Chains A and B, each alone.
Chain A
Amino acid sequence: MILLGEFALWVALPVSIWGIVLAFVGGHRKRGDLVLSAERSVYAVFFLLCLTSLGIILAFVGEHYEYRYVWGYSSRELETYFKVTGLWAGQRGSLVFWVLLLALFSSIAVFQNRRRNREFMPSVVGVLLTITAFFLGVLLFADVNPFERLPFTPANGQGLNPQLQNYWMTIHPPTLYLGFTSFSVPFAFGVAALITGKTDSRWLVVTRRWTLLSWFFLTNGIIFGMRWAYEELGWGGYWFWDPVENASLLPWLTATAFLHSVMIQEHRGMLKMWNLSLVSLTFLLTIFATFLTRSGLIESVHSFAQNTRIAYIFLAFLGVATMACLLLILWRKDDLRAERTIESFLSRESAFLMNNLILLGSAFAVLWGTLFPLISEGVAGTKVAVGPAFFNRVNIPIGLVLLALTGIGPVIAWRKATRRNLERNFVSPLLMAAAVTAGLMIAGMRGFYALATFAICGFVLTILVNEFWKGTRARARIEGEGPGRAFLHLIARNRRRWGGYIVHVGIVLMFAGFAGASFHTEIDRSVEPGDQIRAASPYGHEYVLTYQGLSSSRTPNMWQWVALMDVSRDGRRLGTITAEQRIYSTADQPIREVGIRSTPLEDVYVILAGVEDFEGAVLNESSAQGAVFQVLVRPLVGWIWYGGLVITLGSLIALWPGAGGPARRKVQATPASARLAKV
């Protein structure tokens, strides 16, 4: 069965190349039979890749350590759950997984459009299969074949990196990959629109839900990654501006820009070229992100004698794809003229454009900072890196402007905002922002960025709540519905708009959470049982952590030392926190598992930094209970996760199929809006 999987991988490449040739030839010569054959190869490739993935999973579960990949990422002691997820634990498997997802989405796109949008399909199939074939080629010819065998059969594998043995880590990469791969579909339709010359609104309508879906996965993937870093990496942060994190942020930024600029094209017939460029750019960035996460190029120029062949292959592909996109767009330049022009700086068009520009600016800054070590080495011969300080300095102001735009965009008028429009919509939010600032300053908060963030959060929330309130009230009045029912109907009748606003609310919550990082406190202490660690929280509370002692235990997979802390706040007992150190049987050094006690306003984050006497603790000697702790108080961290949930909810509402969303067949026959018009 494993051999069959390997065989399927080899068969998949010629099948996809066959499909590329037939799709383009068939599209050019108008030969329906060739196109049908190409579409069937999409399904066939998906089937073959399912076999391949199944083969890899079976090799993991069946403990076939003669395969280098299985040997490197598994061991007999590993739980079966982690063996199955071994498919995406390392570079080789995750490339297979990537292309499997791509084939899945390609198949769905082909199936959905078996009767619709037929003139696009030859190009769409051709583009999707080209991407597939590229990844298959990489897998087979760039020394990353997951089925590569070792010259002998080791008795056991090396084991999975303990830090990857975490729930968030098993769902974070697949979610991110779902986002990366699903964006290939809108890209393929964009290219098809360019090739066929039908660059009008249609490809936007066709791909709208795909784009949203991809954005949904990307957002969740990034948040899961932050969650993992927070719980597992044990330094109390969630974002480090690491090249790999930046890589996943880049396509998110441009995809967000695309989601918004699409609306300008829909409403005002502008920005056609811009939208096609954005969809191409986002796609290229998803490939770039995959490349960066999977080649280790940036982080490892100095230290790893890495597999550089894969880096050159990826760079070549990126270069060719970029050129192709540019040429296609320039070729169709004349068809992409705007139907109207922007009439005023104070208008929704211009607010959206501003949002686009700022998102791109931020993406550019992140890209520049990430690649700077390479650029400086290439140009000046000296490698210069930029740390988190750079990214924070650039992105915090940009982020604040974007945050303000999440409030301004929804309410500013199309075409030209009048004085009355501005007064009506912005006076009370501005008052709210001023009130928030004043209140926080009286409460003793200082720090420009934190105050600005909370003020803007207040501003945006007021606008959004006001929107919901106005809409509900109007609907309740016209329909004679109760407020609850009116509210639900309001959202259900225009899911994209209201789902989008809910996403904005989530963004506000997340920013408030980020701002909390200005008020971190940290205490390091070495203690014996009975000793207390006192930590002050920025709200004026005092946490007292009483160390109870260590207990140790062993499982087949690891030894663990668990330290127990009793927590009380302002004299009232809250419960216990456990922090651990583990030594996995496949690793030599201890791994820390942090203990987190989460409240809506702040987290108490306990790290067991050191155990004074590991052996003594195992024997439960009372003299060997000394331990070193790091206690962090992290205000508002929880809001980031709540905000993430709200964003998920909002994007699900916008995505939900049916008449209220961006329906395909029905003509948005939503009586709600028509009735509102009577007001």
Chain B
Amino acid sequence: MKNSRFYIGLVGVAMVVTFLIWTGFDKAMVYYLTPVELMAKVAEDDTFHDIGVKVSGRVVKGSYQAEGAFEHYFSVVDLAREDASFRVEYRDILPDTFSDETEVVIEGRFRRDGVFEATTVLTKCGSRYEAMPEEMAG
């Protein structure tokens, strides 16, 4: 049948796209956790120290220290439970909207010494702007 080659092409495209999505996931997926969940995961599985995770929480008031514009230290606490918190170390420019008590999403690795080494810090604009204004997360 004339069409068969055409359908082979279609199936081929579909398979390539599926393959890309599949492998893309393997390479790029990260767990998105709260501090409480992170603590629980680390406690049950030591390898969680080695993989990248994304954690959302709140900056502890008064915990922020900086050395220059490129070295920042602060603590992040769970939004719901005050006892789950850890130190964060970040070596890049902080977003404009970062301050004490902002909600942040940090991405990076939770080291064995209990310090979170962040590679990106995103802020959420808190209650000040009601719902998060469009596109602020970038």
The answer to whether B130 and A354 touch across the interface, beta carbons within 8 angstroms, is no
Q: Which residues of chain B are near A262, meaning CB under 8 Å?
A: none
Residues of chain A with a CB closer than 8 A to B135's CB: 225, 228-229, 242, 244-245, 293
Chain B residues with CB under 8 A of A94: 134
| The one of A350, A365, A390 that contacts B17, using a Cβ cutoff of 8 Å | A365
The 8 closest A-B pairs by CB, nearest first: A610-B69, A390-B28, A361-B17, A628-B69, A389-B28, A385-B32, A383-B32, A609-B69
Summed over the interface, the residue pairs from A and B with CB atoms below 8 Å come to a total of 172
How far is B96's CA from A137's CA once the two chains are assembled, in angstroms?
37
Contacts of B1-57 to chain A: CB distance below 8 A: 2-3, 5-6, 9-10, 13-14, 16-17, 20-21, 23-25, 27-34, 37, 54, 56
Cα separation A342 to B9 with both chains bound (whole Å) = 12
A423 to B115, CA, bound (A): 62
29 contacts between A and B (CB under 8 A): A72-B130, A73-B130, A90-B131, A163-B97, A163-B136, A228-B135, A245-B138, A299-B124, A300-B132, A302-B34, A303-B79, A341-B2, A342-B3, A345-B6, A354-B9, A357-B14, A358-B13, A361-B14, A361-B17, A364-B21, A368-B21, A389-B28, A390-B27, A524-B70, A524-B93, A526-B68, A609-B69, A610-B69, A628-B69
In the complex with contacts A385-B29, A589-B96, A609-B14 CB distance below 8 A: no
- Taking the closest CB of chain B, its distance from the CB of A332, in whole angstroms, is 24
Of B27, B128, B133, the most chain A CB neighbours within 10 A belong to B133
Measured between beta carbons, the chain A residues less than 8 angstroms from B32 are 302, 373, 383-385
Q: Does A387 contact B (CB under 8 A)?
A: yes
Chain B residues with Cβ below 8 Å from A389 are: 24, 27-28
Residues of B within 8 A of A372 (CB): 29
The residue from A89, A228, A240, A302 contacting B56, defined by CB atoms under 8 A apart? A302
Alpha-carbon distance A382/B136, docked complex (angstroms) = 25
The answer to whether B138 touches A299, judged by C-beta atoms less than 8 angstroms apart, is: no
In the complex, besides A163-B97, A303-B105, A589-B98, 15 extra interface pairs with C-beta distance below 8 angstroms are A94-B134, A158-B129, A173-B134, A240-B138, A303-B103, A307-B131, A341-B3, A343-B2, A358-B17, A365-B21, A390-B24, A609-B69, A609-B70, A610-B68, A610-B69
Q: Which residue of B lies closest to A299 (CB)?
A: B137
Whether the pair B96, A382 counts as a contact (CB closer than 8 A) is no
Q: Which residues of B contact A368 (CB under 8 A)?
A: 21
Residue among A72, A345, A362, A607 with most chain B CB within 10 A: A345
Q: How far is the CA of A225 from the CA of B135 in the complex (A)?
A: 9
A303 touches B124 (CB 8 A): yes
The main secondary structure of chain B at its interface with chain A is mixed
Which residues, 147 to 168 on A, are CB-close (under 8 Å) to B?
Answer: 158, 161, 163-164
Q: How far is the CA of A164 from the CA of B132 in the complex (A)?
A: 12
Contact in complex: B69, A526 (CB < 8 Å)? yes
Q: How many chain A residues touch B (Cβ–Cβ < 8 Å)?
A: 77
Q: Which residues of A contact B103 (CB under 8 A)?
A: 303
Chain B residues closer than 8 Å to A345, beta-carbon distance: 5-6, 9
> Does A588 belong to the interface (CB within 8 Å)?
yes
Q: Is A663 an interface residue (CB 8 A)?
A: no
Closest to B132 in A: A296
Residue interface bits B102-126, CB-to-A below 8 A is 1, else 0: 0101010000000000000000110
Q: Whole-angstrom distance between the alpha carbons of A302 and B37 in the complex?
A: 12
User: A197 at the A/B interface (Cβ < 8 Å)?
Assistant: no
Report B-chain residues with C-beta under 8 Å of the C-beta of A384. 29-32
Question: How distant is B33 from chain A, measured CB to nearest CB, in Å?
Answer: 7
A229 near B56 with CB under 8 A, answer no
- Asked if A657 is at the interface of the complex by the 8 Å CB criterion, the answer is no
Give complex CA distance A330, B16 in Å: 29
Tell me the nearest residue of chain A to B20, going by C-beta: A394
A582-603 interface bits toward B, Cβ cutoff 8 Å, 1 = contact, 0 = none: 0000011111100000000000
Instruction: A243 to B6: give the CA distance in the assembly, Å.
Output: 35
- Give the complex CA separation of A303 and B125 in angstroms: 11
Task: Name the contact of A394 in the complex, choosing from B24, B29, B105, B132 (C-beta under 8 A).
Answer: B24
Which residues of the partner chain B approach A242 to less than 8 Å between Cβ atoms? 135, 137-138
As a 0/1 sequence over residues 319 to 349 of chain A, the CB contacts with chain B under 8 angstroms (1 = contact) are 0000000000000000000000111110000
> Which residues of chain B from 59 to 96 have any CB-CB distance to chain A below 8 Å in the complex?
68-70, 79, 93, 96
Complex Cα–Cα for A588 and B128 (A): 11
Interface positions of A from 209 to 245, Cβ below 8 Å from B: 225, 228-229, 233-235, 237, 240, 242-245
Q: Contact: B132 with A390, CB < 8 Å?
A: no
Q: Is there an interface contact between A390 and B13, defined as CB atoms closer than 8 Å? A: no
Contacts of B132 in A (CB 8 A): 296, 299-300, 304
Pick the contact of A398: B2, B14, B20, B129 (CB < 8 A).
Answer: B20
Which residues of chain A in 368-396 are interfacial with respect to chain B, using CB atoms and an 8 Å cutoff?
Answer: 368-369, 372-373, 382-387, 389-391, 393-394
Q: Does A306 sit at the interface, judged by CB under 8 A?
A: yes
Q: With a CB–CB cut-off of 8 A, which chain B residues contact A398?
A: 17, 20
**B25 proximity list for chain A (CB < 8 A):** 386, 390
Chain A residue numbers with a CB within 8 Å of B124 are 299-300, 303-304
Contacts of A72 in B (CB 8 A): 129-130
In the complex, what residues of A have CB within 8 A of residue B79's CB? 302-303
- In the bound complex, how far is the Cα of B21 from the Cα of A532, in angstroms? 45
Residues of A within 8 A of B56 (CB): 302-303
**Interface: A32 (CB within 8 A):** no
Which residues of B lie under 8 Å from residue A158 when comparing CB positions?
128-129
Judged by a CB distance under 8 angstroms, whether A658 is at the interface is no
Contact present for A244 and B5 (CB under 8 Å): no
In the assembled complex, A575 has its CB within 8 A of some CB on chain B: no
Do the beta carbons of A293 and B134 come within 8 Å of each other?
yes
Contact B27 A393 (CB under 8 A): yes
B97 adjacent to A387 (CB under 8 Å): no
Query: Which residue from chain A places its CB closest to the CB of B102 in the assembled complex?
Result: A589
Chain B residue contacts of A296, Cβ below 8 A: 131-132
Is the Cβ of B17 less than 8 Å from the Cβ of A630? no
Report B8 CB to chain A, min CB distance, Å.
8
* A91 CB within 8 Å of chain B: yes
B97 nearest in chain A by CB position: A589
Contact of A350 among B9, B31, B69, B105 (CB under 8 A): B9
Closest B residue by C-beta to A302: B56
Q: Is the CB of A364 within 8 A of B69?
A: no
Q: Give the shortest distance, in Å, between B64 (CB) and chain A (any CB).
A: 11
Which of the residues A73, A386, A590 comes within 8 Å of B24, measured between beta carbons?
A386
Q: How far is the CB of B66 from chain A (nearest CB, A)?
A: 8
Q: Is A439 part of the binding interface, using a Cβ–Cβ cutoff of 8 Å? A: no
Assembled-state Cα–Cα distance A302/B137 (Å) = 14
For residue A482, CB closer than 8 A to chain B, the reply is no
Closest Cβ of chain B to A535, distance in Å, is: 16
A62 interfacial by beta-carbon distance below 8 Å = no
Q: List the A side residues contacting B134 at CB < 8 Å.
A: 94, 173, 244, 293-294
CB distance A394 to B21 under 8 Å? yes
Which B residues lie within 8 Å of A234 (CB)?
96
A387 to chain B, nearest CB (A): 6
- Nearest chain A CB to B132 CB, angstrom units: 5
- Report chain B residues within 8 Å CB of A73: 130
User: Are A89 and B133 interface neighbours, CB within 8 A?
Assistant: yes
In this complex, what residue of A is CB-closest to B23? Answer: A393
